[in-house]
Amino acid sequence: MGVVTDVRTAEQTPESRELRETKGERTRRRLLDLAIEHFGVRGYRATSVSEIARAAGLTQAAAYAYFDSKDALFDAAVDADAEAAIDAAVQ
pLDDT tens-digit profile of 7-48?
Answer: 444 445 555 555 788 999 999 999 999 999 999 999 999 999
Residue 30 burial by Cβ neighbours in a 10 Å radius (0-12, 13-18, 19+): middle
* pLDDT recorded at residue 21: 84
Sign of CA dihedral 65, 67, 69, 73: negative
* pLDDT recorded at residue 6: 46
What is the spatial distance between Cα 4 and Cα 22, in angstroms, rounded to a whole number?
A: 33
Percentage of the chain exceeding pLDDT 70: 80
- Closest by CA to 10, choosing from 22, 1, 19, is 19
